[in-house]
Chain A
Amino acid sequence: MPAAIEVKGVSQAFGALGDARRVVALESADLSIPRGELLCLIGPSGCGKSTLLNVMAGLARPTSGQVLVDGEVVRGPLPQKVAFVFQEAALFPWRTIEDNVKLGLAFQGVPTNQRNDRAREALDAVKLTSFAQHYPRQLSGGMKQRAQLARALALETDILLMDEPFAALDEQTRMVLGEDLSVLLARTGKTIVFVTHSLVEAVFLADRVAVFTARPGRIKTILEVNEPHPRQRNFMTSDKLTRMRNELYELLHDEVRRTMEINAEIMP
């Protein structure tokens, strides 16, 4: 059985070859993500981690290399296999939460008579049942992201890609949402790739953490967390998490400094 996601030598550059403004965001990334794994991508801004996620989702074409999902080359979105959770504002503001979930199901091609039940189930799973008839603008930031997660869960895909889903939230909310997410995802057994800027979030959620270098982004190293899911509150305060967080900090520190220097050169 092939790995859930296979990333083979994926590079992504923006701007034409030979152009002085050409930016190589990602350079020959290789990854093999087994089924049921939660992989976090972490790295300084502009290191190409979101780019890689978009390539995995079929939302961007790599400059070179390829991504295989279930052994099949990705050439465009695969709504039957891959669901995507965005950083922000990806709910349709003119539709209620429930109708947002149902619209996703309609796009995916689920027959009308199944949409109700599946939307209800997904909203139950993220504890938003009582807000089903609310509009996105009536919800807090954390609730909006839970609603987006429900929309993605309702699609019942094996793979879930999440692009900094909690980035816009305050730290306390994201901690609690992280705990909920761990419980929820342990139950579903999905393969998940999760982009984050938060060291704690990465260690708390991931089976493995892929650390990126400064631009042009390469995968510097991959850290194994080795902790069973669902992760509980006591893992958050454990010595192990603190130790791994510090290890991540050491790995990232120089890369973040270098990114700041690169940016200072581009924008003096």
Chain B
Amino acid sequence: MSMRDNLSQRGVQIGFVLVAGLAWHWAVSNGKVSPLILPPLPAVWRNFVGIIVTGQFWPDLRVTLTELISAFSLACVAGCAVGYMVSRSAFAVRVFDPLLSSMYSIPAILLYPLYVLFFGIGSGSKIAIGTTIAFFPIVLSTIAGLSNVNRSLVVAARSMGASDWQMFAQVLLPAAFPVVLAGLRLGLVIALLSILGTETIASFEGVGHQIVSNAESMEIAPMFAWVFLAVLIAFTLNGIASALEARGRRGAE
């Protein structure tokens, strides 16, 4: 992509956000929308700066991030391990791939009340739901990546005498890498979404909890400040994951 394309792409993206912000500001300052629904932007900004400079954001952010990292790590280990085992036999792929795919389409959030019962209202239930939800894209992409490796590469390696371990480490793994990486990124994003979401359902700490407790006491401006923080986390994580994915892809091609 040329530099100019890149610039104009960025320009349109920033313009889009600006227009949305201006529309918000215009609607609120002209009394078109009640400040109880949409608070004035400057008030949101003051609250946002407030929770940042006072350090008020940190305990809740730490809780949410700890839950995310725990859930994502568990889902990675379980997803990659199960995916690898399934991909080793074509029969297992035919059996488990459709099974796991259909399980993926069940909204796991429905299990949340059960998880609260099992793991309590604290971080445990958030980690459990995040792990459950992130597991599926990771295991499915691992199966897809490992079982769809170009057959001529496998045959070529075999003809040159590759051992089982060499086949795995030098052929299957690098060939599957880009596909697995895409699953990992998706897993990270939906783990964050489900953790933030479940924090708003039942919890006593975390970013999601702050959002819902402010909303319940009609503190709309602080609520939006916390929403902005959540958006910021999602953007940052997605940015990091995309950068890693791009690097991984470059290395893998």
CB–CB B161/A108 < 8 A: yes
CB–CB B170/A103 < 8 A: yes
Rounded to whole angstroms, the CA-CA distance of A164 and B163 in the bound complex is 27
| CB of B111 within 8 Å of the partner chain | no
- Classify the secondary structure of B's interface with A: helix
CB–CB B152/A92 < 8 A: no
Q: Of B159, B160, B252, which is within 8 A of A94 by CB?
A: B252
CB–CB A83/B159 < 8 A: yes
Rounded to whole angstroms, the CA-CA distance of A135 and B170 in the bound complex is 16
A94-B156 CB under 8 A given contacts A79-B161, A107-B162, A108-B161: no
CB–CB A107/B251 < 8 A: no
**Which residue on A lies nearest to B178, using beta carbons?**
A94
| CB of A88 within 8 Å of the partner chain | yes
| CB of B218 within 8 Å of the partner chain | no
List residues of chain A with CB within 8 A of the CB of B170.
Answer: 92, 103, 106-107
CB distance from B153 to the nearest CB of A (A): 6
**Which residue on A lies nearest to B174, using beta carbons?**
A94
Scan A71-107; emit 1 where CB is below 8 A from any B CB, else 0.
0000001011011101111101110000000011011
CB distance from A101 to the nearest CB of B (A): 10
List residues of chain A with CB within 8 A of the CB of B251.
Answer: 94
| CB of A2 within 8 Å of the partner chain | no
**Which residue on A lies nearest to B150, using beta carbons?**
A89
List residues of chain A with CB within 8 A of the CB of B171.
Answer: 92
Q: Of A79, A87, A89, A135, which is within 8 A of B160 by CB?
A: A79
Rounded to whole angstroms, the CA-CA distance of A57 and B161 in the bound complex is 11
| CB of A189 within 8 Å of the partner chain | no
New A-B contacts (6) at CB < 8 Å, excluding given A77-B161, A90-B153, A108-B160: A57-B159, A86-B156, A90-B155, A103-B170, A104-B160, A155-B160
Residues of A at the B interface (CB closer than 8 Å) are 57-59, 77, 79-80, 82-84, 86-90, 92-94, 103-104, 106-109, 135, 137, 151, 155
> Which 4 A-B residue pairings sit nearest by Cβ, starting from the closest?
A79-B161, A107-B160, A90-B156, A107-B162
